[in-house]
Amino acid sequence: MAPISIRKAYEEGKNHLKELDRPELESRLLISEVSGITEVEFYADPDRLLTRRQQRRFHRLITRRKKGFPTAYLTKRKEFWSLEFHVGPAVLIPRPETELLVEQVIKVVDSEKPIVVDVGTGSGNIAVALARELPKARIHAIDISRAALETARRNARLNGVSGLTFLRGDLLSPLKKAGLEGKVDVIVSNPPYVARHEWESLPPEIREHEPMNALVSGETGMEIITRLVAKSRQGLRPGGYLIMEIGSLQKDAVLRILKPSWTDIRCVHDLSGLPRIFRARRK
């Protein structure tokens, strides 16, 4: 195998991945993964040669990507809120639209040292981003998965944040033991909201690789959201906020369960104009 330049490898990768939405980006990310170069180095020295070992690994990654394996799982990292996060099959890959959750929490925080709870923290992307933006906040990250909590802890260390506590349990069940029930200023969550019958219609890239239990809620997709709304009334202080991500077709159903006991209800749309985030305040 003759040595080839970064430029040539990039062109080959782009050609192999041409059926994907952004083959240029995909090829560059995989080259950076195998060679360890930064984006700046990629453009500054495109004639740098890859070693034979790097070439072989690059070709293996290209093959796996063509078969639908997510790029973030191949590189084991994903950017969120301009921070880098370690990801693996135990956690969902952070999505750009979830940054809206972070924005909304920052908007409603009205104390210097708020208590914030991130339910279903997964990779810890929301909790870590909030810890960076609200360094004096007391942030508690909850997940039922031990593997997810380990990933979240790793990402807290990776991004050098403190003030984070990790709790294992279902939804808000750890709050009582932690002495936080009825004291939380903001509960934030990206809960599972996919209906069981929708699972098979998801892209293979998601269905075959990302954890099903972090996506599917039950028969209707509303099961966990309904439980979260009910439990949040016990966890929040009076006037505290619940901020959660929803499915794009769930706006009316979520409104129905919020209206009886919540105030200042607001639905935030994503960049595609779809309803994506609900914000509501405990009466």
Segment 235-242 shows an average pLDDT of 96
Nearest-5° Cα angle at 82, 60 to 109: 140
Considering the domain architecture, whether residues 33 and 114 belong to the same structural domain is answered as: no
pLDDT of residue 134: 95
Question: 67, 90, 121: which is the final residue of a domain?
Answer: 67
Answer for the pair 243, 279: CB distance below 8 angstroms, yes or no: yes
Q: What domain count does the chain have? A: 2
Say whether pLDDT at 1 is over 70: no
Question: Domain containing 52: what range?
Answer: 4-67
Q: What is the CATH number of the domain that holds 178?
A: 3.40.50.150
Segment 221-238 shows an average pLDDT of 96
C-alpha distances in Å from residue 181, one per residue of 35, 115, 172: 49, 11, 9
Considering the domain architecture, whether residues 135 and 243 belong to the same structural domain is answered as: yes
pTM for this model (two decimals): 0.92
pLDDT of residue 209: 93
Question: 67, 98, 122: which is the final residue of a domain?
Answer: 67
**What count of other Cβ atoms lies within 10 Å of the Cβ of residue 195?**
18
Say whether pLDDT at 97 is over 80: yes
